A and B are shown apart, each in its own frame.
Chain A
Amino acid sequence: MRIELEKRAGVSKLFAILSPLLALVLTLIVGAIIFAALGKEPVGALYSFFIEPLLEVWSLHELAVKAAPLILIAVGLAICYRSNNWNIGAEGQFTIGAITGSILPVLNPDWQSPMILPLMLVMGAAGGALYAGIPALLKTRFNTNEILTSLMLVYVAQLFLDWLVRGAWRDPQGYNFPQTKPFNESAVLPELLDSGRAHWGVVFALVAAVALWFMMRYMLKGFEVTVLGQSARAGRFAGFSSRGMVWFSLLLSGALAGLAGISEVSGSIGHLQPSISPGYGFTAIIVAFLGRLNPLGIIASGLVLSLTYLGGEAVQMSLQISDKVVRVFQGLLLFFVLSCDTLILYKIRIRWSRSAAREGAA
């Protein structure tokens, strides 16, 4: 058996829409097989994983709370990946954003003012952008591979947070728990509705997604991103700067990841602690690809990936299935999305035997 690719005349619009859906269906099928292998009734397990979390108001709020950082980070990453800059250290930028955004409420716990929240958000975004600026500087100045540097900085950021909350920033009245003082009321990102926990981070995510969609579709900058991503040489002829784009895409994605970090800490945790993210920065990579690097698509895919977190918690409680299954599902989803994307540019021909291949040639 041989699999051959045949280039399509143009981009298949049909498969551009169908590919993420196909990937979802394939993930569900493999998911059912996994559940069956674990000795659970697959349809029921899939139902509690993917449907039940959508049936109650509080869990819809949770869905939005978890989708917000994913979307916020992923739209920034989409701009990076579109421009061929591979920032995979969003988890670190998220962490640093959470730290720099928390400077005011941690160091001035009694300062209550309407000014504090906007300042925190700006400082969080600035911190994330600065941290993403390190791989940008190294790439433009020293020609260093941004994939490796941005990833190494994730470990450094997490260790830095660990050091802060166990040392200088630890709450003296915190019974020796490694966490900072709880933020005061005016430093907590308010909830949107009375019915649940969803906070303003959700709004930031939607605004960022729509704004970047607008930029990519209607602004020269968006065109620049696409051209430089497809061919740096073509971009140079058009007068676009590759170096400038390295800076733009990394600072933008870093700022959004930093904003996500401080929004998460201020909106749903309320203090700093050693672990503030269940891997949002990495899951956002999957969100970006599942949304086909399109900011509006990312809103949908962010909700899907957020659902996998909730589903994991649900089946852990109701069916005693390990929540590790979440990362398996997320990994599978990315695999299937990447495979299905092949269908957009190519037709796939399967040749079953050598003789059939010869007939095809004749």
Chain B
Amino acid sequence: MDMFQAILLTVITAATPLVIAALGELVTERAGVLNLGVEGMIVIGAVCAFAAAHLSGSPYIGILAGIAAGALFSLLFGFLTLTLVTNQVATGLALTILGLGVSGMLGESFVGVPGVKLPNIVFPVLSDIPFIGPILFRQDLIFYISIALVFGISWFLFKSRTGLKIRAIGDSHSSAHALGINVIRTRYFAVMFGGACAGLAGAQLSLVYTPQWVENMSAGRGWIALALVVFASWRPWRVLAGGYLFGAVTIGQLHAQAFGIGVPSQLLSALPYIATIVVLIIISHNRRTTLINTPASLGKPFVPDR
């Protein structure tokens, strides 16, 4: 395996959690709910996945635990914003703060404990294709899920009946309600799907990317995922492209640090965050296209008339 291939592999590993978390948030936002708690849900997923994998010895049980933990944790956000109609921005922040706190506490006894790495699944024949074989067909389960999610969500949102309902709710919850769609229930599912994806992204961090538990190991990825959704103008395939772009920036700066190219390491570490800002500027500066792409009722509270 040559150098370029190895770098490409690490880029994919760095990008996968971003892609998964952003895809989940994309569905949530398409239903008109802005959940800023992605960071909190990722880190809860990471600690639960690590703990379950460590205690059971099976990384697959870890994955399930991460998904379940993320979905359950997002339910807290759902209950507040959907049933109690609290401010979505503030509640999302609360979810992030609580998630970082709870994960720190839960994970305290797992600091420094050796983790369980998710094994790679090798597809026979396909993995022998030169160059792309080892990159695409000798990966772990979560990578395959991330690709399946891109296909699945594109189809689901734009080709299925339920997907159409979700988009309708996101664009005008009052009209959707008038048409007899159960806005609140659908939004609950959308929020929980987002939570499950964030939990899976967390599981990837603690089982694949760095198979160990470190406090705050999400390191702002939840926020980058939120930015990715804006960058992708709420389209799944663009999330994939954006996620890989960010993965490349992250890995690029790590390699630059390793080579010691005479730039302060802190500046290089800041690059993914600065890149996020730059990308947001490029995407948002045209007010009209932003307005067309953004789900119209995003972040707005909905109380059904009775």
Contacts and interface: CB of A to CB of B under 8 A. Distances in A.
A327 B102 CA distance: 8
A328 B101 contact: yes
Interface residues on B, range: 35 or more
A231 interface: no
B97 A327 contact: yes
Given A145-B280, A163-B267, A331 B108 contact: no
Nearest to B265: A163
A119 interface: no
A328 B105 contact: yes
Contacts of B230: 145, 148
B284 A145 contact: yes
Interface stretch (B86-94, B125-133, B142-150): B86-94
Nearest to B215: A324
B100 A338 contact: no
B98 A334 contact: yes
A220 interface: no
Contacts of B94: 286, 331, 334-335, 338
- Which of B86, B108, B269, B270 has the largest number of chain A CB atoms within 10 A? B270
Contacts of A339: 80, 84, 86
A334 B97 contact: yes
Given A5-B85, A342-B85, A334 B280 contact: no
A338 B92 CA distance: 11
B285 A332 contact: no
Interface stretch (B48-56, B171-179, B191-199, B219-227): B219-227
A331 B92 CA distance: 11
A141 B280 CA distance: 12
A300 B99 CA distance: 25
For chain A, the bracket of interface size reads 35 or more
Nearest to B223: A151
Contacts of A329: 101
B303 A7 contact: yes
A156 B285 contact: no
B276 A148 contact: yes
A163 B89 CA distance: 32
A313 interface: no
A224 interface: no
B97 A330 contact: yes
B5 interface: no
Contacts of B256: none
B281 A142 contact: yes
Contacts of A341: 86
B153 interface: no
B273 interface: yes
Contact of B264 (A155, A167, A324): A167
B85 A346 contact: yes
Given A322-B105, A346-B85, A335 B284 contact: no
A238 to B, nearest CB: 22
A326 B98 contact: no
A310 interface: no
Nearest to B291: A143
A342 B264 contact: no
Given A286-B97, A332-B98, A144 B273 contact: no
A205 interface: no
B84 A148 contact: no
Interface in B96-143: 97-102, 104-105, 108
Contacts of A153: 273, 277
Interface string B274-293: 10110011001111001000
A269 to B, nearest CB: 20
Nearest to B103: A324
Contacts of B85: 5, 342, 346
A42 B94 CA distance: 25
A282 B83 CA distance: 26
Q: A-B pairs with the 9 shortest C-beta distances?
A: A331-B98, A327-B101, A163-B266, A324-B104, A328-B101, A334-B94, A159-B266, A142-B285, A324-B105
Given A322-B105, A331-B101, A338-B86, 12 more contacts: A5-B85, A141-B285, A145-B280, A151-B223, A152-B227, A155-B270, A156-B270, A156-B273, A163-B264, A285-B90, A286-B97, A324-B108
21 contacts: A5-B303, A142-B284, A143-B287, A144-B280, A148-B276, A148-B280, A149-B277, A152-B274, A285-B93, A286-B94, A322-B104, A322-B105, A324-B101, A325-B105, A328-B105, A331-B97, A331-B98, A331-B100, A332-B98, A335-B98, A339-B80
Interface of A: 3-7, 81, 86, 88, 138, 141-145, 147-149, 151-153, 155-156, 159-160, 162-163, 166-167, 282, 285-286, 289, 322, 324-332, 334-335, 338-339, 341-342, 346, 348
